[in-house]
Chains A and B, each alone.
Chain A
């Protein structure tokens, strides 16, 4: 396939993922509202917010890093997307996946967070700094069990290519990593709760705790870029987990269903359990998912 075609399909895939992310976030907020016995937002509300933010008339700057913060964050989300095979067995929807993409995608998960830390720090608002320090501390505790699970899978399948991991899970539901390596799946899905930033682990952004957190100073187009990234990142991380643990997808319908269910897992836990303080969440992440992750590696060797 020539390059023009490849780039066209990558951009089309990004467009689909962005739209699915926006619709899904609206849908999820609607579901949360129904749980609280409210009517809730309109499902297309995230689009309106995005348009409004991109067309704010006046904007102020705090310096170069302030500009680069959202850019880094967005390149983190798009970076994961670029190297992630979306549909198994499809030449069109495999993006730029290559033999070592598992490592690169895991790296990109942390990349956006670091960029955001630099940008929010330059904003100079104390709440940004508090939010960022909490966010980085918590995300480190999230990342460790997740990477342990990823390493466990890499050992299990003897490969660092996501496409090969998906290929090894084909041929029936019992071939999924969920059943062949349940410990790694549990460790990763528990850390996934933290990565999505829903209730037990949303102390970083919760307006009741720490007004808005890292993006306190971000407004207008900056905030629009962050919202765009959020929509992409949620879907893309769900696709990553789908590829690693739930057998990947062979068509778009399967992808949309599985990403919704994976994302819904974090929402389901979020509406049931109250928020952790940052010290509680870190000690929980270190006590349970981390231990399960270590066990996953021990049992697979």
Chain B
């Protein structure tokens, strides 16, 4: 049987295409991995609680920033020194986590190629609701020295809501620490609602992402 592929399925990995699995008793089961293996629910807006409670929780969120260990571009080499005795970000409540589920901050550390953007989106969407984006370096603001590159994005905030920009090429670790301080200030003021913003403007963000990622072969939302 010739497997007719429509335009949408063109980039889909073979294991993610609709296929038939033979069960233990010989029955045929049709599997649509994008529907069966991934959750289809779109992100929801989680309204903040009342002011006094939210202020207290926001203080806790600000003082315990768990950063996803995700490095893109040149800036990823500026992050490891943060954990060394010289800069010691731990004293500000910053810690690194290796899994997006447990982390609340993702640092986009420099230029973002289209290929990496896909992975960034997946990782960002797997993080749980109060989540913050720190954009490091001028490449994330306007493309920096890569502004006319064929393969990197120019403005990060077209693809995900950015909380804090740390400008420079490359910013030193001190600048990143200062960025964390301003992120804390923003969280404590209750202005860091990036996750809700992403959920509200989900269609706009998705359209932007799909415009630049030609080989879209994953579900629309990676929860």
Contacts and interface: CB of A to CB of B under 8 A. Distances in A.
Interface string B30-52: 00000000010001101000000
A72 interface: no
A37 interface: yes
Interface stretch (A9-17, A100-108, A210-218, A293-301): A210-218
Contact of A212 (B46, B60, B93, B98): B98
B130 interface: yes
Interface string B82-106: 0011001011010111110110100
Given A48-B63, A56-B129, A42 B93 contact: yes
B60 A57 contact: no
Interface string A178-211: 0000000000000000000000000000010001
B91 A40 contact: yes
Interface string A229-260: 00000000000000000000000000000000
B64 interface: yes
A252 B94 CA distance: 34
Contacts of A217: 99, 101
A50 to B, nearest CB: 9
A40 B88 contact: yes
B61 A41 contact: no
A58 B100 CA distance: 13
B98 A58 contact: no
B20 interface: no
Size bracket, chain B contacts = 20 to 34
B129 A52 contact: no
A57 B85 contact: no
B128 interface: yes
A41 B128 contact: no
Contacts of B102: 212, 215, 218-219, 223
B57 interface: yes
A49 interface: yes
Most buried by B among A39, A41, A60, A219: A219
A33 B90 contact: yes
B64 A52 contact: yes
B99 A216 contact: yes
Interface in A49-83: 49, 51-52, 55-60
Given A48-B63, A57-B130, A211 B99 contact: yes
B98 A211 contact: yes
Interface in B88-126: 88, 90-91, 93, 95-99, 101-102, 104
Given A42-B93, A60-B223, A51 B57 contact: yes
Interface residues of A, number: 30
Contact of A220 (B60, B64, B90, B128): B128
A52 B97 CA distance: 15
A171 interface: no
Nearest to B87: A38
Nearest to B44: A58
A57 B129 contact: yes
A59 B128 contact: yes
Nearest to B199: A58
Nearest to A125: B99
A38 B101 contact: no
Instruction: Name the residue in A45, A52, A59 with the highest tally of chain B Cβ atoms < 10 Å from its Cβ.
Output: A52
A52 B60 contact: yes
Contacts of A41: 90-91, 93, 95
B34 to A, nearest CB: 16
B43 to A, nearest CB: 8
Contacts of A45: 63-64, 93
A210 to B, nearest CB: 9
Given A41-B93, A48-B64, A218-B101, A60 B39 contact: yes
Contacts of A218: 101-102
Interface of A: 33, 36-42, 45, 48-49, 51-52, 55-60, 127, 207, 211-212, 215-220, 223
The 10 closest A-B pairs by CB, nearest first: A211-B98, A57-B129, A58-B129, A219-B101, A51-B60, A57-B46, A37-B85, A207-B98, A52-B60, A52-B64
13 contacts: A33-B88, A38-B90, A40-B90, A45-B93, A48-B64, A51-B57, A55-B60, A57-B46, A127-B99, A212-B97, A217-B101, A220-B128, A223-B102
